[in-house]
Amino acid sequence: MVIVLAFLTGGLYACGLYMMMRRSIVKLIMGLALLSYATNLLIFTVGGLTRAAPPLVPEGETVPPVPFADPVPQALILTAIVIGFGVLAFAVVLIEQTHRSVGTDDSNNLRGIEGES
Amino acid sequence: MKATEKRHAAQSLILLTATRYLVPILLLFSLFLLTRGHNEPGGGFVGGLVAGAAFALYALAHTVHQARLLLRFPPRTLIGTGLLIAVGSGLVALLFQRPFMTGIWSAVELPIFGKLGTPGIFDIGVYIAVLGVILQIIFELMEE
Amino acid sequence: MGLLVLLPLLIPFVTAALALLFWRRHRVQRALGLVGSVGLLLSALVLLVVVWRDGIQVVQLGNWPAPFGITFVADLFSGIMTVLGGIIAVAVVIYSHASVDRLRERFGYYPLLLFLMMGISGSFLTGDIFNLYVWFEVMLMASFVLVAMGNERAQLEGALKYVTINLVSSAIFLTAIGILYGISGTLNMAQLSVQLSQSQQPQMVTVVAMLFLIAFGIKAALFPLFFWLPASYPVAPVAITALFAGLLTKVGVYALIRVFTLLFVQDIGYTHALLLLLAALTMITGVLGAASQNEIRRILSFHIISQIGYMVMGLALFTPLALAGAIFYIIHHIIVKANLFLIGGVVQRLEGSYYLKDLGGLYRSHFGLAVLFLIPAMSLAGIPPLSGFWAKFTLIRASLEENQPVIALVALVVSLLTLFSMTKIWAEVFWKDRPETTPEPAPLSPSARLQLLLPIIALAAITVVIGLMAEPVFILASQAANQLLSPVEYVTAVLGGTP
């Protein structure tokens, strides 16, 4: 299972980086999203895979029965997903505004402050 | 107001009818998640997301303007209030000479809510803040 | 007592939340901005005094003991950084009152500034590597909006670059945290320090160290990852640029120093040698880049890069003296660099341009401003007795003690070129005659003049004071450096008696 997830993570990283190399800024944002998904999957895999053993404490006990899945990576991923969602929402608005003011989604036409001088 | 006309044309009877039943159910469900959150799976965060989904659905079926009226407070105010409630619940612990955010439980047992304590209040703060953030983003994007 | 460590976070947080409630009342927002930043500064000062007197302060949030709970730690280094953050915040808020337009104020300029300050303080005070990521993101989200706000074309383009590069850096940072958790099973920095020193897989640790180097290198604008900085910093309003220039890259440097003193000290021969090389290249590229520019903000932006090189050089040499030099350098640099941007903003306000060719004659028309520019500019170049001289002197002495004459030579040459850049601005903006084509200067209202000049005068005064009373500041810096170099103290403070 780990090997499948490892390849999947690698594939997602590759796709994300490829998308970021494209000139279209829409694809750039999609690449960034893929990159963050790849990272989440990596944390999930590296944290160790334990199937069908949620870390829940049964009624009347103080520790969950072993073996149980490590909850920390899942908590990290949840946090990362939330942050990623916020950043992505902002990025979408940003490219929308940029597209409106520049009139293109080709990153070659973005000159920034150098374009002024 | 071209945008609103277009939206009215796109209104479907199915969506409108479904919304009428779904919005109250979603809101109730979000409160259910909120009230059990401090002891069992659930909590202010998911609760806030579900409530946000209810208002977003309403905004889709009707208009953003009407959804804002339904919400009554601007989302921004909700964010601020929620954050302040959450911090406030953390500060309660200081009165008991404990570190910030330590859970303080009272002996009072409420019917649905369960034991009253600062983690529950923290959850309420999170619920309001998350609802505010989600609607702030969705309303802004829909009004573009 | 534990609340004290959290106050630099809670004060900006609460004032920002209040500012959200008073969205339409810009006077209230301004007042809250001032209250939040002054509160931040005062609490940070008290924190620093307490840490100096009683040693490292630790808070376990929610009373969950480390390494299970969320830990906040204030040692001398984080205390110093938080105080610097407070100083810049106060200066920028006062400056913003007169320089930020109504539109930005309406779109939440002050709450965002306060959230940014919260993220910065959080990064300095956290004792947990994942929380460091979260605070970085808080800081970045606020900075994204502050850069993009205003919707001018150049601004959006600069913001897009800034957002993209920072998201890539965050993704790498998060990947590194994931792998670190995989090999050590903890995220608490104190426990990580213990675990990594006993690690069975030293090569893996070095790999993670390199990931952290790239992630923080991007944030700190280290060679060869600096290219985004001159493209994105100058597009924001100048008060924001000053804040970013002073603090944001330094948060990256702080994180570098923290992880490369506490966590990754297994293979110093490799990691720190690499850092030294990068430091030299960063200094050179930064200063050469600056020499080719002819716009004030871009010259100063390139100088940020070259100055980062000095700080990383102190870290790379890894002796008590060198680290003390690096910390001294950070203290000096944050104040001077923010001040130079603020002065650049005043020049633009007076003459309507940042381009050297459009400017001139300010020495004759605004003598006071010329003096105020000279203080931080000469300090940046390292002219005695100003603060920059002592910072550079310490670093160069440390490198000679370590038998690294090459880096000492690089540091000297770069500081000479810095002097060249500063005299270029001086000659073009202040000394040469005013170009005929430039429109008449716009007069400032008395209140605007006060709000613009007060922070500049205060920061210039701090520079002079640090220069004249270098001894106590240096003792503080070397104490902080000693703390950094003996992680045992940090670990016992966090984990209690059982390291």
- In angstroms, the separation between the Cα of residue B132 and the nearest Cα of chain A is 13
Compute the average pLDDT of residues A43-60.
80
Using CB atoms, pick whichever of C137, C160, C171 lies closest to residue A110. C160
- pLDDT digit string (tens) for C51-95? 999 888 888 887 777 778 888 999 999 999 999 999 999 999 999
C-chain residues near B100 (CB < 8 A): 2-3, 6, 10, 59, 61-62
Beta-carbon contacts of residue C467 (< 8 Å; ≥ 6 apart): C379, C384, C385, C386, C387, C388, C389, C390
Q: How far is CA C93 from the centre of its chain?
A: 16
Q: What is the pLDDT of residue C266?
A: 82
Nearest CA in chain B to C20: B80
Q: What is the pLDDT of residue A116?
A: 45
Nearest CA in chain A to B40: A56
User: Residue C71 pairs with which residues in a beta bridge?
Assistant: C60
Contacting chains of A (3 CB pairs or more, <8 Å) are B, C
Looking at chain B, the number of H-run helices and the number of E-run strands are 6, 2
Is C151:C236 a contact under the CB 8 Å cutoff? no
B109 at the A interface (CB within 8 A)?
Answer: no
* Pairwise CB contact (< 8 Å): B137 & A89: yes
Structure confidence at residue A117 as a pLDDT band (50, 70, 90): very low
Q: What is the pLDDT of residue C439?
A: 66
Structure confidence at residue C493 as a pLDDT band (50, 70, 90): confident
- Tally C-beta pairs within 8 A across A and C: 109
Report helix, strand or coil for C55: coil
Q: A100 vs C396, which has greater pLDDT? A: C396
Compute the average pLDDT of residues A77-105.
85
Using CB atoms, pick whichever of A86, A89, A96 lies closest to residue B144. A96
How would you label C306-337 residue by residue, b for 16+ Cβ within 10 Å and e otherwise? bbbbbbbbbbbbbeebbbbbbbbbbbbbbbbb
Place of tokens 């050297």: C356
Nearest CA in chain C to B102: C62
Q: Report whether pLDDT(C415) > 50.
A: yes
Nearest CA in chain B to C21: B77
Q: Report whether pLDDT(B38) > 50.
A: yes
Q: A84 vs C68, which has greater pLDDT? A: A84
Is C130:A74 a contact under the CB 8 Å cutoff? no
The number of beta carbons lying within 10 Å of the beta carbon of residue C126 is 23
Nearest CA in chain A to C155: A112
C-chain residues near A116 (CB < 8 A): 154
Using CB atoms, pick whichever of A20, A73, A112 lies closest to residue C181. A73
Compute the average pLDDT of residues C476-492.
90
Q: What is the pLDDT of residue B2?
A: 47
C-chain residues near A82 (CB < 8 A): none
The amino acid that residue C55 corresponds to is G
The amino acid that residue A11 corresponds to is G
DSSP letters of C384-421?
A: TTSHHHHHHHHHHHHHHHTT-HHHHHHHHHHHHHHHHH
Judged by phi (left if over 0) then psi (alpha if -120 to 50, else beta), residue C431 lies in alpha
Q: How far, in Å, CA of C283 to CA of C125, rounded?
A: 28
Report helix, strand or coil for C64: coil
Beta-carbon contacts of residue A73 (< 8 Å; ≥ 6 apart): A43, A44, A46, A47, A48, C178, C181
* Pairwise CB contact (< 8 Å): C10 & B103: no
Compute the average pLDDT of residues C97-111.
83
Q: What is the pLDDT of residue A112?
A: 53
A-chain residues near B140 (CB < 8 A): 93
Q: How far, in Å, CA of C342 to CA of A46, rounded?
A: 46
Report helix, strand or coil for C498: coil
Structure confidence at residue C487 as a pLDDT band (50, 70, 90): confident
Average pLDDT score, chain A: 84
Q: Report whether pLDDT(B1) > 60.
A: no
- Residue C186: CA atoms inside 13 Å, Cβ hemisphere, count? 20
Using CB atoms, pick whichever of B80, B100, B103 lies closest to residue C3. B100
Place of tokens 């609340």: C3
- pLDDT digit string (tens) for B67-125? 899 888 899 999 999 999 999 988 888 888 787 878 788 777 777 777 778 888 888 99
DSSP letters of C255-301?
A: HHHHHHHHT--S-HHHHHHHHHHHHHHHHHHHHHHHHT--BHHHHHH
Structure confidence at residue C352 as a pLDDT band (50, 70, 90): confident
- Nearest in space to C94 (alpha carbons), one of C338, C288, C321, C281: C338
- Nearest in space to B54 (alpha carbons), one of B17, B24, B87: B24
Q: Which two tokens stand for residue C400?
A: 């000679």
* Dihedrals phi, psi of B108, to nearest 5 degrees: -65, 130
3-state secondary structure chain A: CHHHHHHHHHHHHHHHHHHHHCCEHHHHHHHHHHHHHHHHHHHHHHCCCCCCCCCCCCCCCCCCCCCCCCHHHHHHHHHHHHHHHHHHHHHHHHHHHHHHHHCCCEHHHCCHHHHHC
Structure confidence at residue B8 as a pLDDT band (50, 70, 90): low
Q: Report whether pLDDT(A115) > 50.
A: no
Q: What is the pLDDT of residue A24?
A: 87
Q: Could you tell me which residues of chain C have a Cβ less than 8 Å from any Cβ in chain A?
A: 130, 134, 137, 140-141, 144-145, 148, 151-154, 156-161, 163-164, 167-168, 170-171, 174-175, 177-179, 181-182, 187, 231-232, 234-235, 294-295, 298, 355
For chain C, the domains span 270-486
B-chain residues near C114 (CB < 8 A): none
What is the total count of domains within chain B?
A: 1
Q: What is the pLDDT of residue C157?
A: 82
- pLDDT digit string (tens) for C393-410? 999 999 999 888 899 999
Q: Is B59 exposed, middle or buried (0-12, 13-18, 19+ CB in 10 A)?
A: buried
Domain range for B12: 2-143
Structure confidence at residue A49 as a pLDDT band (50, 70, 90): confident
- In angstroms, the separation between the Cα of residue C232 and the nearest Cα of chain A is 8
For chain A, the domains span 1-47
First to last CA, chain A: 56
- pLDDT digit string (tens) for C145-176? 888 887 777 888 888 888 889 999 999 999 99
- Nearest in space to C105 (alpha carbons), one of C89, C118, C93: C93
First to last CA, chain B: 13
Contacting chains of B (3 CB pairs or more, <8 Å) are A, C
Q: What angle, rounded to 10 degrees, do the helices at C320-351 and C387-401 form? A: 150
- CA-CA-CA-CA dihedral for B83, C28, C123, C488, to nearest 10: -90
Q: What is the pLDDT of residue C61?
A: 83
Angle at CA C102, nearest 5°, toward C159 and C135? Answer: 45
- pLDDT digit string (tens) for C443-469? 778 888 888 889 999 999 999 999 888
Place of tokens 């109504």: C102
Choose the mutation target among B94, B101, B136 for the interface with C, i.e. most C CBs under 10 Å: B101
* Dihedrals phi, psi of C404, to nearest 5 degrees: -120, 70
* Pairwise CB contact (< 8 Å): C163 & A94: yes
Q: What is the pLDDT of residue B7?
A: 53
Average pLDDT score, chain C: 88
- In angstroms, the separation between the Cα of residue A82 and the nearest Cα of chain B is 10
Q: What is the pLDDT of residue B37?
A: 74
Nearest CA in chain B to A57: B40
Q: Which two tokens stand for residue C350?
A: 């007076």
B-chain residues near A86 (CB < 8 A): 133, 137
Structure confidence at residue A111 as a pLDDT band (50, 70, 90): low
B-chain residues near A96 (CB < 8 A): 144
* Pairwise CB contact (< 8 Å): C137 & A36: no
- Nearest in space to C156 (alpha carbons), one of A113, A12, B88, A14: A113
* Pairwise CB contact (< 8 Å): A79 & C134: yes
Structure confidence at residue C499 as a pLDDT band (50, 70, 90): very low
C-chain residues near B83 (CB < 8 A): 13, 16-17, 20
Is C416:C404 a contact under the CB 8 Å cutoff? no
* Pairwise CB contact (< 8 Å): A102 & C153: yes
- pLDDT digit string (tens) for C241-258? 999 988 999 999 999 999
* Pairwise CB contact (< 8 Å): A35 & C134: no
Report helix, strand or coil for B111: coil
* Pairwise CB contact (< 8 Å): A93 & B133: no
- pLDDT digit string (tens) for C108-129? 889 999 999 999 999 999 989 9
* Pairwise CB contact (< 8 Å): B94 & C10: no
Q: Report whether pLDDT(C36) > 90.
A: yes
* Pairwise CB contact (< 8 Å): B100 & C62: yes
The fraction of chain C above a pLDDT of 90, given in percent, is 46
Structure confidence at residue A85 as a pLDDT band (50, 70, 90): confident
B143 at the A interface (CB within 8 A)?
Answer: no
Compute the average pLDDT of residues B8-16.
74
